[in-house]
Structure 1
């Protein structure tokens, strides 16, 4: 808690510096007269972002106010922040950063995305140290669509494996693999103890999965390595894959994981899956078409965005009349 005032001071300075570099012409506004300082005025940023002038002024002054994801996104768009700057803004505001409106290539870089794509037809993915799916190629998305068509905040392998119904889990040898994955998570957690994003993530898994809570309580640690993973896909059946982890220069605590078919039958299963127009996910009792789930999720997100916009308008401070 002691770092909060310092973080607000840094937030205020960061916003002022970003505002100063944006001219009215950059956002399609006339230059106007008698501008004493370069860049946009506070009231112009507030107007373009759709927030109250008083609220934005308080934010830029480093006052202890709450900022939602939607409002920070709007301010970030007006100030034309890139992905790195947006993440910095979120951290200073104390809000978990979700790379939701950017492509995989923007998250990991064109070069890394190009490597993933070149590995196709082998499934390949970039995981963070807590199993966030940062980027993937088409083969990976075909086999595990549930970790790629959801919002980025939900693109986490452990979250999917521990919170879906056991009957719908695609991992056959989970008794061997899940404890090892939790061990790798704990080893990485040692470098992030006390960080809000990590603590919230661990607390969520403990709350939603008694199985994860038990494994976490053991305190085991493990390191990445080559593993045999057995999956059951709702559309084609069993697929045996060998996973290999590769470090990435310039991306600490991230790794490329490549999955190679362990036998000819698994290679044939993947080839069958790649040409299917409507693959299914889930167990025999609950399986559904991917397109149906995607459409349903899109409708849910649209409703959530509409509700958030209403809540933001209600939460804005009432400006005093002068």
Structure 2
């Protein structure tokens, strides 16, 4: 499917704003409607005043005639129109702005945690778009327990661990290819997150502390995620080849479930079963 043109995005943004404006009652916005008011929702001038922009500019915005809207103004419009989290994200995407970082620690739903448990003894974990590791199942936990120092905070990030953990280097049979691929994945995602402070902070930390990451990052290689397979080394299980795939969490576009699995009855499946019993 071809990407929408800038003009199509502006028109869709205007249509979305008009639809949300029509759904907010004056009472919800703290406005006392007069006896002769016919507008069911808010008037343009009321939204403009609440968001701190001029009526003319806001009118042009709804008409698809404005190129570029700042994050500050978009957030003000979201408040004025009482948008929910999903609507706010949609507004940002229509305007070409990266979504805001979720406040506080990522929340993993019960359904996603159930999925992690259901795929055992296969390995499954949840990552954000920035590759922060936010949840995992028992087989992954069994692997993490073998790390000399268990990471936490900002270090609990797949890209950071790939370049800073000797344990990770030992586990991947083809570490350099994996590290290049992961860097290209991060750059591909970062292109959609220009201005996102979380992405900028991660890239700055990696660039300052890892010459190999800096080398791979400056090559400007990008790649989309594609299911494939990779080889792992384990001190007790030996070398194991697993397939992997990604499942997007539809009600939280910042999260994905990564599953490493083996065909039933294969030697790799037997190895995973032994790992889960460890």
Give me the TM-score of the superposition, normalised by structure 1: 0.51
Is 2:131–2:158's contact at 8 Å kept on the other side of the alignment? yes
Which of 40, 44, 55 lines up with 2:46 in the alignment? 44
**What is the deviation of 1:146?**
0.6
Deviation at 1:13, TM superposition (A): 0.7
Partner Cα separation in structure 2 for residue 218 and residue 97 of structure 1? 21
Give the distance between the partners of 1:134 and 1:30, measured in 2 at CA.
48
Q: Distance in 1 between matches of 2:184 and 2:22?
A: 43
Which residue of the partner structure matches residue 143 of structure 1? 151
Q: Is the 8 A contact 2:116 2:124 kept in 1?
A: yes
The structure 2 residue matched to 1:212, chosen from 202, 212, 216, is 216
Report which of the two has the higher share of helix: 1
Q: 2:69 aligns with which of 67, 71, 76?
A: 67
> Which residue of 1 is the match for residue 177 of structure 2?
179
For residue 223 of structure 1, report the CA deviation from its aligned partner. Answer: 4.5
The 8 Å contact of residues 245 and 255 in structure 1, kept in 2 or not, is answered as no
Runs (5+) with no aligned partner, structure 2: 145-149, 208-212, 235-239, 261-271
Q: Could you tell me which residue of structure 1 aligns to residue 127 of structure 2?
A: 127
In the superposition, relative to structure 1, how do residues 127 and 28 fare at CA in structure 2: closer, same or farther (>3 Å)?
same
Give 1:20's match in structure 2, choosing from 19, 22, 25.
22
8 Å Cα contact 1:180/1:222 also seen in 2: no
Secondary structure of the structure 2 residue equivalent to 1:127: strand
- Contact 2:92–2:99 (Cα < 8 Å) also in 1: yes
Counterpart among 81, 84, 87 of residue 82 in structure 1:
84
Alignment of structure 1 residues 203-242 onto 2, 5 Å: 208=207, 209-213=213-217, 223=227, 225=229, 228=232
Q: Is contact 2:126–2:134 with CA below 8 Å preserved after alignment?
A: yes
Q: Secondary structure at the match of 2:28?
A: helix
Q: 1:197 aligns with which of 170, 192, 197?
A: 192
Match of 1:27, SS state, is: coil
Q: 1:131 deviation in Å?
A: 5.3
CA positional deviation for 1:15:
0.3
- 1:199 offset after TM fit, Å? 8.8
Note the alpha carbon deviations across 1:46-93, whole angstroms, 9 max, x for none: 3333x2233433322322243222321222233232333222211211
Q: How much has 1:111 moved relative to structure 2? A: 1.7
Corresponding residue for 2:263? none
Q: Is 1:56 aligned to 2:55, yes or no?
A: no
Separation of aligned partners in 1, 2:182 and 2:104: 28
* Contact residue 132 and residue 158 of structure 2 kept, 8 A: yes
TM-score (norm 2): 0.57
Unmatched tracts of structure 1, length 5 or more: 149-155, 231-241, 268-322
2: CA distance between counterparts of 1:45 and 1:249? 35
Residue 32 (structure 2) aligns with: 30
